[in-house]
Amino acid sequence: MKIYLLISGKYGSRVVNNLAEHGMASNIVGMEEYPEDLPHFIDDFSHYIPHSLPDADLILAVGLSGDINMVVPEVARKTGAKSAIIPIYSPEQMPPGLQQEITESAPDVRIVFPKPFCSLEPIGDAPIDEFASRFGKPVLYIKSDNFIKKVKVLRGAPCGSTDYIAKGLWSMPAEEAELNATQKLHNYPCNASTDTDPAVGDTSMHLASYQIKEAVKRGLGFAVKSAVVDDEICDTAKCQEECLKTCPQVRIGLETITISNEEKAIIDPATCGYCEICVKECPQNAIEIQNGRFELEG
């Protein structure tokens, strides 16, 4: 697969280095680096289009903020790429209007906007799926008894944080790994924004921490903390399903909260990041955060 990169700033460089460290250097057919201080609003972005462009299958635009992202459709057209990934790491970087404009200006290119990059999963598009089979939402194989014996990264965050976290989990008590992974993500450090994204109701950095926690939980087969719904109190006839509408994980496309056939909310401990938003939003006070051991299915 031939990848053309459009990058800017520390985050862009970090992703390029991580791809190279994972043997992808030969897949990178070209790269354009933009300064970080470009104006947010650009009337005419045509002179930011690189002059000579090779054939490519996938465009990755990482770390570009504001209107400069409008180069993606044109770069895709000139390289022949039919797929593009523009990860969103902060609310100012990609307002919803700009995202729509980019999508509409390239109707024949499949463009995804993972929010954040470490939430990317296969979507049924060959180049994006090939990339997402190795980079995106973290997946860990974990061998443990009471302590972590082995951790293998099956899919890592594109910034490289999953490898760093995986190394740090070795020999730790299994029950501490989930919370420790979040701490290690911050130490790496995660470059995602700490500003609340109004489209999601949470910060990109929190969303990133929910993804690595999920990888640890699934690797271990259990979670140690989760929001829990009290079936006796939950009553969808008396609410607007506020929990479902406000859960940030649901808003990025996950099934963290679902409504059962009995019309009760169900929370999936594997993906719950215990942000407490649903706890505050439920008008029936039917949800609380609980510590314990939640066995995961599968």
Q: Which of 119, 280, 295 is nearest to 223 (CA)?
A: 295
Q: Are 3 and 18 in contact (CB under 8 A)?
A: no
CA–CA separation, 254 vs 125, rounded Å? Answer: 19
Query: Quick check: 205 binds ligand SF4 (CB under 6 A)?
Result: no
Number of residues that bind ligand SF4 (CB under 6 A): 26
- String of contacts with ligand SF4 for each residue 206-235, x by CB under 6 A: ---------------------x-x----xx
Query: Quick check: 296 binds ligand SF4 (CB under 6 A)?
Result: no
CA–CA separation, 21 vs 162, rounded Å? Answer: 13
CB of 192 to ligand SF4, least distance (A): 16
CB of 157 to ligand SF4, least distance (A): 19
CB of 213 to ligand SF4, least distance (A): 10
Query: Quick check: 139 binds ligand SF4 (CB under 6 A)?
Result: no
Query: Quick check: 243 binds ligand SF4 (CB under 6 A)?
Result: yes
Half-sphere exposure of 254 (CA within 13 A, CB side): 25
Query: Quick check: 270 binds ligand SF4 (CB under 6 A)?
Result: no
Q: Which of 249, 273, 115, 117 is nearest to 182 (CA)?
A: 273
Query: Quick check: 273 binds ligand SF4 (CB under 6 A)?
Result: yes
Q: Kindly give the pairing relationship between strand 202-203 and strand 83-85.
A: unpaired
CA–CA separation, 64 vs 270, rounded Å? Answer: 32
CA–CA separation, 11 vs 3, rounded Å? Answer: 17
Q: Which of 85, 19, 31, 88 is nearest to 58 (CA)?
A: 85
**7, 174, 220, 247: which one binds ligand SF4 (CB under 6 A):** 247
Query: Quick check: 64 binds ligand SF4 (CB under 6 A)?
Result: no
Burial of 194 (0-12, 13-18, 19+ CB in 10 A): exposed
CA–CA separation, 140 vs 182, rounded Å? Answer: 14
Query: Quick check: 274 binds ligand SF4 (CB under 6 A)?
Result: yes
- Chain positions 150 to 169 lying near ligand SF4, rule: CB under 6 A, are none
Single-letter amino acid code for the residue at 239 = C
CB of 274 to ligand SF4, least distance (A): 5
Which span sits near ligand SF4 by CB under 6 A: 63-71, 103-111, 167-175, 281-289? 281-289
**72, 257, 270, 294: which one binds ligand SF4 (CB under 6 A):** 257
Query: Quick check: 287 binds ligand SF4 (CB under 6 A)?
Result: yes
Query: Quick check: 73 binds ligand SF4 (CB under 6 A)?
Result: no
Query: Quick check: 196 binds ligand SF4 (CB under 6 A)?
Result: no
Report which DSSP code applies to 66. G
CB of 273 to ligand SF4, least distance (A): 4
CB of 256 to ligand SF4, least distance (A): 5
Q: Are 208 and 116 in contact (CB under 8 A)?
A: yes
- Binding residues vs ligand SF4 (CB under 6 A): 227, 229, 234-236, 239, 241-243, 247, 249, 256-257, 265, 267, 272-278, 282, 284, 286-287
